A and B are shown apart, each in its own frame.
Chain A
Amino acid sequence: MKVDMKIDVHHLTRVEGHGNIEIEVKDGKLKKARWAVVETPRFFEAMLRGMSHDLAPMLTARICGICAIGHGLASLRAIERAMEVDVPETAKVLRLLAKHGETLQSHTLHVFFLAAPDFFGVPNVLPLIESHPEIAGLAVRLKKAGNDLCDLTTGRPTHPVSLVPGGLSKAPEKHELKAIRRVLVDRIPDIEATAALFKTLSIPDFVRETEFVALKGEKDYPWIGGDLVSTDGVVKEEDDYRAMTNEYKEDFTTTKFTRLSRESFAVGALARVNNNFKFLEEKSRAAAEELGLTPVNHNPYMNNVAQVIECDHVIRESIKLIDRLLEMDLSDIRAEYRVRAGKGVGAVEVPRGILYHEYELDDQGLVVKANCIIPTTQNNANIHIDLSALVEQGLKEKKTDAEITHLSEMLVRAYDPCISCSVH
């Protein structure tokens, strides 16, 4: 049987930013399967030139409306490493808590608002409010807990206020930490219910062997700084991130592509779980096993499940971090530092994968040169190659145009691409 197929999804919905899926099949043979990013670039690296270092985290947080805290933290880490600033332990713990708030709000936004409608066959989350009020309730409560945690630690979830070089400009009060702790404890049954819900959903059956890249855990599940690791056995230092990413550009897309040991690699929740499974909270690990998520899992659709598991992990770890903070002196949150010339790299695990910022600063503390490598940039090539494999598999299984379109859209969404971020 001769099969011709032309699929053109213009401006894919329920993702952040603008990208197109283009698939062409002729006589049963795949001619083209593309993930083309058409987002308008903003040129942040150029804007940073000549800017005071203390404005850099403010500017780069604005690369992304979802992971602004992550950008702020990567920017601060690069600056603080360039100037050899020793950030107080209290500020480090508070920053990690802010990071966890962002992971929780971002993952819940994706899992419930962007991905879940596909599993229920609805165009958006709104019909679920009527048909599945209990699921809408989980979504709203979990997302709010994440946002409230960001509010408390950085002033607001989008474009944080209090992340400054040297530490934080303001710390929460202990009574506020106790209050959010109670909220987080109450969210544990919610995230357990979410995991149970995912047990009932059917995750598309698609596997393509992939290299997964993440920060390398030493004692804990890693979020901020440290060595880089891949499931193909590559280990590199944080400063050597360019050798881990190897950016290049293709003509049909405004984002750059990256590669390591193979033609592409993946970052994000699934990559982190695949590389650092043993460092997950014990109960989160058990939940992952229950959902069939053990390393190394090569099904990209399982990224949704990995996000649920990470939500479980960050809620439990946040409670422990708050317990530590309640024993600490919350006035010691900011180090004095001397402005000096230097170069620094900051690698941070943001919701969609490793984010790198690198700055060169002059002796006035002005940015001479900047480089930011975004998680979605690192995933774009992998999404693109997954698409070809997915269509090939679909053709073998005699799937219809509509089925292949649906699976392709779900595939791209599973990566939770932040396209505006990737074209910064």
Chain B
Amino acid sequence: MKYLGIDPEKIKIGSFDFTCCEGCQLQLANKEDTLVDFLNLLEVVNFREISSYRGEDYDIALIEGAISRQDEVERLKRIREQAKVLVALGTCACFGGVNQIKNKFEIEDVVREVYGDDPVETLPVRKISDVVKVDLEIPGCPVSKEEVEKIVVDLVTGAEINFPKYPVCVECRRKVNTCVFDLGLLCLGPITRAGCGAVCTSGKTACIGCRGPAEEANYEEFRQVLKEHGFTPREARERIDFYGGLPEMVIDES
């Protein structure tokens, strides 16, 4: 791809996964219409999931997943040393994601529940920025492939990267959807950062906050909304805590 009529040197990119489902990396291969053009812009030097070539000379490192074992800490630090730009890709990398639900329980208890008397090594789940410096966070469970493509192109071409400041609620209203609160659902759309295209609420299910907090979120007002609709603190908390991205949204027990 030419930028301002100049053919820039191809940016080398590596994609790495840690504790996760690998669904975010897959999104990169999922946008079939533009896949070939997108790949022409980059040189993929390390992407274990789809390629046997393992180069160590990447400029941009995409990190998927959270950190839950000591060997992951070491691996992540090595990647940080090499990468000029380190991107936390997806909700697990940005906030711990569903993995951090484990942290509610005692580690020994969690291991016993799954492995019985044959324990395996595991640590409390941490997000990437708890372990190394992160240059850019792209949340989403999974990430929106359109958004990642746009951001990677912006990174390569040096354009400014902007995320919406407003919540999912705004995007949802623009689509003229029926509010899912009116369907009896507890929706985190009013406090969650937009950019997903309100994909869950457009499917008549509730937002569970995978993209973390909207800058313009009004927590006090949202607490009132939850009360008015008669949701219990337990119901609210289990959704707010689902991805670990909304620590500021505190629910009192009353």
Contacts and interface: CB of A to CB of B under 8 A. Distances in A.
Contact of A117 (B17, B30, B52, B97): B52
B223 interface: no
Given A52-B238, A126-B39, A158-B23, A14 B200 contact: no
A43 B114 contact: yes
Nearest to A140: B32
B205 A162 contact: yes
A46 B109 contact: yes
A222 to B, nearest CB: 26
B175 interface: no
B3 interface: no
Contacts of A162: 203-205
Interface size class, chain B:
35 or more
Contact of A47 (B32, B98, B120, B205): B98
Given A40-B72, A124-B51, A249-B118, A158 B205 contact: no
Contacts of A43: 102, 110-111, 113-114, 122
A41 interface: yes
A420 B18 CA distance: 10
A123 B242 CA distance: 38
Contact of A155 (B50, B54, B114, B202): B202
B21 A62 contact: yes
B187 to A, nearest CB: 12
Interface in A163-179: 164, 169-170
A155 B200 contact: yes
B19 interface: yes
A129 B238 contact: no
Contacts of A136: 36
Contacts of A58: 208, 242
A46 B110 contact: yes
Given A13-B51, A47-B98, A155-B199, A66 B26 contact: yes
Contact residues of A: prevailing secondary structure: loop
A295 interface: no
Contacts of A51: 238
Contacts of B160: none
Contact of A42 (B19, B32, B35, B208): B19
A4 B113 CA distance: 42
A64 B102 contact: no
A66 B36 CA distance: 21
Nearest to B54: A13
A147 interface: yes
Given A16-B22, A140-B35, A124 B142 contact: no
Contacts of A47: 98, 101-102
Contacts of B199: 155-156, 161
Given A14-B50, A41-B122, A65-B22, A170 B102 contact: no
Contacts of B54: 13
A113 B26 CA distance: 11
B157 to A, nearest CB: 22
Interface string A36-51: 0000111101110101
Contacts of B113: 43, 45-46, 49
Given A41-B120, A147-B30, A126 B21 contact: no
A16 B204 contact: no
B185 to A, nearest CB: 9
Interface residues of A, number: 56
Contacts of B97: 62
B32 A147 contact: yes
Contact of B30 (A45, A123, A157): A157
B44 A126 contact: yes
Given A42-B19, A65-B22, A52 B235 contact: yes
B20 interface: yes
Contacts of A11: 48
Interface string B95-132: 00111011001000111011110101010000000000
B126 to A, nearest CB: 12
Contact of A17 (B22, B52, B53, B68): B22
A169 B52 CA distance: 41
A52 B36 CA distance: 42
A271 B118 CA distance: 30
Contacts of B27: 158
A40 B73 CA distance: 12
Contacts of A169: 203-205
Contacts of B98: 42, 47, 59, 62
B180 to A, nearest CB: 9
A254 interface: yes
Nearest to B35: A140
Contact of B105 (A46, A156, A157): A46
A213 interface: no
B204 A40 contact: no
13 contacts: A40-B122, A43-B111, A63-B21, A65-B20, A66-B26, A113-B50, A123-B52, A123-B53, A124-B51, A143-B30, A161-B205, A249-B116, A251-B118
Given A58-B208, A66-B22, A249-B115, 18 more contacts: A14-B49, A41-B114, A41-B115, A42-B98, A42-B99, A43-B102, A62-B98, A62-B141, A65-B20, A65-B24, A144-B32, A144-B33, A147-B32, A155-B200, A157-B30, A161-B200, A162-B205, A420-B17
Which A-B residue pairs are the 10 nearest by beta carbons? A65-B23, A124-B51, A161-B203, A155-B203, A144-B32, A169-B204, A123-B52, A65-B21, A47-B101, A46-B110
